């Protein structure tokens, strides 16, 4: 498809929003102040278009998180909780760094039928949806790069039904097993022509971006205009990025009044459609990124894979361009000629963390610090303006200072999850609590849902991968008004009893249960939770991978050695400047490895007993 998708603003109104397609007539969204309008070709006419208020669009009303559920006399309402918990991390200026979501959108067979069984029409609709979503996310410094479109014009490649929960998990399983191996991407969304039961119009796991298991969602195409599905997709993608619903309790600020659509993470969507994010959404995504979510978003996408066509001024450096700083009226880059997308005289580069004052930074200059104990730093190569792609410790590697294992660049533990649920002083309950409660297979004790959407009983060996069980802490959960305490007393043979404290958290129709133990959490020595099962870390091959590093480095997420400061990749078997083939050299020529010491954090040891500063993680290096 050629380039026919545009972003912009109305002349004389710099705060306006325009997202248009010119593929077959003019079609798109125009926002002026608090008013939103749509433009689309009129049927059975030549050149005539319909310009109307977005309030007049035909749509199905959809809600999530609006219902209230009463358990044990307590009413659960919407909350301001992000369920994932992590080790302490150094703050990264995440909002100032451009982030890219490489997105694949899939249309199911019912959507294909609803669009007249026209594959090209469906593809254009999906690309138009992505164009709107990209526009919504640009103020957050997040670009949505559409790298794949798939239409199931024969049969559905996984089971899609009116049950959104089952459809979500079927789609996520298909994505992991079938789509990811043949089409690398960060996130996938299913746009469905099926009408989901109840008021649900979309569903997605929260804070799951970049994971192989859960980075995706399902979206019901509920409006004649693609704008409706675009708003829902942006909402579900927001959940993947760690955004929670905008509620009164959270005190969210939204520039659009409720009667003008409100903001995208509002729990329910009707008309007019929301087209912007609230202050809470900004805060949520910043917090999530600082905690280690979204490791893949800092990598520059391969623009050759993107849909939408090439154009100078779209902000992406494409074939034949030396730079691209956007349209001339929005470009502030002193190194780039916005009209021609060429470098200015004397400039060597214009973009990237390894470009400063239009010149390349020296090899070994740090460009992306490790954000947590499972992350690895990246360094400029001296030959390229962009920081190398983000990598982290291999899954299954032991966390530092914490009794756990790295998984997707994050260290998860039962202890941290209990503190988040119950506040300071909380700790995991004894194993008997997990075993007794999670063997019930009910809403308050389970290992998730099975293929029939029924709560699954935990096998004894998997009990610590079900609902989290805690002791101590506050008198009730501290995570929001929609969480209630589920307390179970278990009698002991020798007398007395053990109090097990669980929670039931209701976050809305579009969010799976966040009260389950998080993937990657240590469940036994040498084992972690994966797909609700307590599995051996050997499934990741971390020990086999580490053997090739000759005891002078660790294995990264690409299964390459990240070497100590005085040793060279790829195998850390000869003198060099450290780092990996992925991260760049971790010190400059002539720089001593003692210059990498960070005061106050000395003595941190790796599993083999070595200090980890020579790996660029924390403190001392071996000289």
Classify residue 176 by its DSSP letter: I
Q: State the Cα–Cα distance between residues 286 and 518, nearest whole angstrom.
A: 20
Residue labelled with tokens 């976050």: 507
- Grouping H, G, I as helix, E, B as strand and the rest as coil, residue 42 is coil
Which residues participate in catalysis according to the annotation? Answer: 236
Helix (H/G/I), strand (E/B), else coil: 141: coil
Helix (H) or strand (E) holding 32: strand 27-32
For 329, residues 6+ apart whose C-beta sits below 8 A from its C-beta are none
Neighbours of 539 (CB within 10 A): 12
Omega before 272 cis (within 30°)?
yes
User: Which residues are CB-neighbours of 118 under 8 A, at least 6 positions away?
Assistant: none
CA separation for the pair 512, 489 (Å, rounded): 27
According to DSSP, the β-strands at 99-107 and 187-192 are parallel
Asked, as a colleague might, if the bond just before 20 is cis with ω within 30 of 0, I would say: no
Positions of E strands within 60-133: 62-63, 69-71, 74-76, 99-107
- As a dihedral over the C-alpha atoms of residue 247, residue 197, residue 503, residue 444, rounded to 10 degrees, the angle is 170
3-class SS letters over 319-387: CCCCCCCCCCCCCCCCCEECCCCEECCCCCCCCCCCEECCEECCCCCEEECCCCCCECCEECCCCCCCC
DSSP structure string for 547-613:
GGGTTSEEEBTTS-EEE-TTB-TTTT-SBS--BBTTTB-SS-TT--GGGG--TT-TT-B-TTS-BSG
Scanning the structure block, which residue is given the tokens 């900004």? 282
- Tell me how far the alpha carbon of residue 56 is from its chain's centroid: 33
Q: Please name the residue that has the structure tokens 């009129």.
A: 42
Please provide the DSSP assignment of 438-450 as one string: HTS-BTTB-S-B-
Separation CA 486–CA 504 (nearest Å): 7
Region class of 550: left (phi > 0), else alpha (psi between -120 and 50), else beta: left
Answer whether 237's CB lies under 8 Å from 217's CB: yes
CB contact burial 223-248 (16+ within 10 A = b; e otherwise): bebbbbbbbbbbbbbbbbbbbbbbbe
Is residue 401 within 8 Å of residue 373, measured between CB atoms?
Answer: yes
Query: Cα 206 to the chain's mean position, in Å?
Result: 8
Cα separations in angstroms, 174 against 165, 169, 421, 490, 605: 14, 8, 32, 40, 40
Taking the mean position of all CA atoms in its chain, how far away is CA 543?
28
| Angle formed at CA 601 by CA 597 and CA 606, multiple of 5 degrees | 90
């Amino acid at each position: 498809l050629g380039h026919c998708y545009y972003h912009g603003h109305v002349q004389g109104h710099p705060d306006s929003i325009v997202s248009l397609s010119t593929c077959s007539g003019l079609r798109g969204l125009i926002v002026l102040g608090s008013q939103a309008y749509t433009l689309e070709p009129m049927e059975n006419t030549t050149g005539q278009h319909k310009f109307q208020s977005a309030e007049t669009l035909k749509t199905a009303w959809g809600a999530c998180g609006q219902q209230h559920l009463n358990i044990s006399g307590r009413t659960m309402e919407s909350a301001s909780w992000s369920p994932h918990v992590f080790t302490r991390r150094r703050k990264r200026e995440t909002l100032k760094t451009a982030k890219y979501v490489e997105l694949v959108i899939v249309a199911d067979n019912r959507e294909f039928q609803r669009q007249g069984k026209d594959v090209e029409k469906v593809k254009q609709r999906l690309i138009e949806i992505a164009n709107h979503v990209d526009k919504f996310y640009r103020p957050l410094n997040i670009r949505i790069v559409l790298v794949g479109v798939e239409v199931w014009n024969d049969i559905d490649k996984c089971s899609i039904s009116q049950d959104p929960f089952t459809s979500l998990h079927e789609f996520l399983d298909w994505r992991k097993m079938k789509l990811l191996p043949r089409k690398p991407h960060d996130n996938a969304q299913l746009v469905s022509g099926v009408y989901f039961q109840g008021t649900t119009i979309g569903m997605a796991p929260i804070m799951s971006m970049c994971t192989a298991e859960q980075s995706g969602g399902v979206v019901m195409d509920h409006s004649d205009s693609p704008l409706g599905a675009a708003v829902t997709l942006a909402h579900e993608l927001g959940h993947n990025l760690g955004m929670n619903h905008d509620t009164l309790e959270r005190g969210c600020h939204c520039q659009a009044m409720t009667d003008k659509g409100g903001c995208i993470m509002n729990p329910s969507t009707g008309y007019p459609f929301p087209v912007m994010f609230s202050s809470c959404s900004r805060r949520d995504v910043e917090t999530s990124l600082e905690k280690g979510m979204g490791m893949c978003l800092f990598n520059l996408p391969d623009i050759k894979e993107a849909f939408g066509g090439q154009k100078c001024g779209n902000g992406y450096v494409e074939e034949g361009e030396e730079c691209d700083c956007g349209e001339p009226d929005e470009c502030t880059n002193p190194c780039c000629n916005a009209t021609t997308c060429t470098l200015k005289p004397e400039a060597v580069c214009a973009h990237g963390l390894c470009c400063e004052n239009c010149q390349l930074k020296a090899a070994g200059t740090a460009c992306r610090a490790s954000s947590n104990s499972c992350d690895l730093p990246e360094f400029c190569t001296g030959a390229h303006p962009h920081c190398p792609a983000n990598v982290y410790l291999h899954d299954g590697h032991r966390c530092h200072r914490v009794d756990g294992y790295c998984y997707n660049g994050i260290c998860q533990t039962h202890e941290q999850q209990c503190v988040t649920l119950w506040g300071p002083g909380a700790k995991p309950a004894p194993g008997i609590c997990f075993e007794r409660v999670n063997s019930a297979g009910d809403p308050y004790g389970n290992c998730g849902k099975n293929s029939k959407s029924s709560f699954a009983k935990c096998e004894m060996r998997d009990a610590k991968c079900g609902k989290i069980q805690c002791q101590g802490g506050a008198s009730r959960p501290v995570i929001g008004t929609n969480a209630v305490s589920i307390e179970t007393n278990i009698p002991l043979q020798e007398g007395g009893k053990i109090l097990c404290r669980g929670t039931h958290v209701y976050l809305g129709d579009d969010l799976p249960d966040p009260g389950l133990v998080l993937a990657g959490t240590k469940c036994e020595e040498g084992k972690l939770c994966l797909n609700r099962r307590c599995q051996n870390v050997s499934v990741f091959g971390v020990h086999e991978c580490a053997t090739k590093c000759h005891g002078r480095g660790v294995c990264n997420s690409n299964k390459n050695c990240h070497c100590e400061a005085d040793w060279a990749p790829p195998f850390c078997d000869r003198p060099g400047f450290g780092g990996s083939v992925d991260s760049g050299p971790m010190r400059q020529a002539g720089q001593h490895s003692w210059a990498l010491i960070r005061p106050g954090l000395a003595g941190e040891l790796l599993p083999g007993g070595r200090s980890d500063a020579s790996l660029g993680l924390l403190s001392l290096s071996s000289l």
